[in-house]
Amino acid sequence: MPFLLSLLLLVSAYLLYRQIARNGSLANALEDVQQEQVRAFDFLDGLGNHLQKNQSPGSMHRFMVEGLVQVLDCDGAALHLLDHTRGELVPMVISAACPLLIEVPEALVQGSAGQSERLNYLRLQTIPASHPIFGEAIQRQRTVRIENLAEHPRFQGSRDASAYQVELLAAPLVYAEKIIGLLTAARQRPGRSFTHNDRAVFESLARQSSFALGSAMVHRDANEKRRLDAELRTASEFQRILLPAKAPEFLGYSIAAANFPAMIVSGDYYDYVSVDDQHLGVAIADVAGKGVPASLIMATCRSVLRTRATGELSPARVLSVVNRQIFPDIREDMFITMTYLVLNAGSGRLLMSRAGHRPALIYRKASGTVEPVAPVGLAVGIDNGEVFERVISDRECHLEPGDAMLLYTDGLTEAINSSGEEYGGERLNQILHRFAAEPAEAIISAICEDVRGFAGSEAQSDDITLIAIKKG
């Protein structure tokens, strides 16, 4: 009986010990969860502050990674952003003590290589979006857990597999239904594994990080767009200054022009140059392409032409110099079509040279017809000068009283309406014929109004420039 009583007391004492230990373990686990939640709330609060204060992307990236290490109490974390063009995950931040996440060269695993060398490699190495481990998280848009990298088929059989005793959690970062990156948490094995609660917290932090990153990107893009728009408006104003404010008064002629950029800045150009007391140069040009690159080439063209045109009566020689000056600096996919002519005061005589530009149109009052004038010539910027100067020539024309000449860029005839139909040369000939008896300004107004009526609200893809010269 005393033996049984002693045994009963012993068992009771053991069970009481187990209960106390169990309760203690539960209490510790509850305390761990509560501490993890506090760290998670601190993380989210800090993330919100970064977003609100619009801090630098690098600062936000570092906060995400360092905060993730603290919240999960893991050995390391990493943030990669997805380059959709190259299909690669680009490392943004990898924490200082992060274990190996991907395969590294044997020299970094064996020998004297330390953590800093391995970490530098990880920070420089992009990861293909099709990677057998991280690619699964990207393609399936879900969190992937790898209990042990060394046991993954990617590493099995490797003599360095022991270096990859690492447990991973990898979550895709998704914003507006688009993958923007990958968040990774890592623990070195052997050690404490990620719990179910760890995974839930990790996924929650990944979702919040996705929103913060995506919002920051949208905000940054909007700011960049506003900055570029402001710069383009400045460039547009500068370009407007380069174009003539009004047509010159020149003995025996009325002259008018109009320019309508397809974008904020234009690749079209026109100009009037005082050659000497008896001669006026008139130029029109169209840079292949639109936007800022075309506008810069246009400004260069204007500068060279104005410098060379003074005192030079041969348009062909002027364009030859323009070509030689521009050719070394122009991109291979760009060129300039130009027409340059020199008017003689009062007489109606003019010399014209054409560098691949649209033919000029002349309305002849005597016959009531419209005829094209197209001297042979090669576009500026295609040839270094040998072929250009062999081909280009001056052509003499005469404008009689009542005759009208029209110079224009191809954006005019290629203007489209809502049906995709082009304005075309026939319509242009008809409207010029109808209004050729009017002064140059009225001719320009009539053509512009007709094109606007034809195109309606349809956006145009090319700049439109036109010049009318009417012999009085």
Q: What structural domains and CATH numbers belong to the chain?
A: 33-220 (3.30.450.40), 236-471 (3.60.40.10)
Q: Give me the sign of the Cα torsion angle 34, 40, 43, 44.
A: negative
Q: Is 175 helix (H, G, I), strand (E, B) or coil?
A: strand
Output the six-digit token pair for 95: 């924490």
Percent of all residues in the chain with a pLDDT value above 90, rounded to a whole number: 55
The whole-angstrom separation of Cα 400 and Cα 364 is 8
Percent of all residues in the chain with a pLDDT value above 70, rounded to a whole number: 83
For residue 338, what are the CA distances in angstroms to 286, 315, 318, 357?
7, 11, 11, 5
Q: What is the pLDDT of residues 30-48, one digit of tens each?
A: 555 455 555 555 565 555 5
b or e along 156-171 (b: 16 or more beta carbons within 10 Å of the residue's beta carbon)? Answer: eeeebbebbbbbbbbb
Pick the closest to residue 206 from 274, 141, 299, 119 (CA basis): 141
Q: Is the pLDDT of residue 221 over 90?
A: no
Identify the band that residue 175 occupies on the pLDDT scale cut at 50, 70 and 90.
very high
Q: What beta strand segments (E) does 70-161 contain? A: 76-83, 88-94, 127-128, 144-146
Q: Is the pLDDT of residue 10 over 50?
A: no
CB 419 within 8 A of CB 434: no
Q: Is the pLDDT of residue 378 over 50?
A: yes
For residue 381, the 8-state DSSP code is T
The whole-angstrom separation of Cα 137 and Cα 128 is 12
Cα 393 to the chain's mean position, in Å?
41
Q: Is 134 helix (H, G, I), strand (E, B) or coil?
A: helix
Cα 220 to the chain's mean position, in Å?
13
b or e along 71-107 (b: 16 or more beta carbons within 10 Å of the residue's beta carbon)? Answer: bbebbbbbbbbbeeeeebbebbbbbeebbbbbbbeee
Output the six-digit token pair for 74: 């893991």
**Phi, psi (degrees; rounded to nearest 5) at 261:** -70, 140
CB 446 within 8 A of CB 389: no
For the CA atoms of 29, 31, 33, 39, the dihedral, rounded to the nearest 10 degrees, stands at -150
Q: Which pTM does this prediction carry?
A: 0.59
b or e along 422-437 (b: 16 or more beta carbons within 10 Å of the residue's beta carbon)? Answer: ebeeebbbebbeebbe
Mean per-residue pLDDT for 113-142?
88
Residue 111: what pLDDT?
59
CB 67 within 8 A of CB 43: yes
Tell me the angle at which helices 424-435 and 440-455 cross, rounded to the nearest 10 degrees: 140
Pick the closest to residue 65 from 14, 23, 122 (CA basis): 122
Q: What is the pLDDT of residues 278-337, one digit of tens each?
A: 999 999 999 886 667 777 888 889 999 999 999 999 999 999 999 999 999 888 888 999
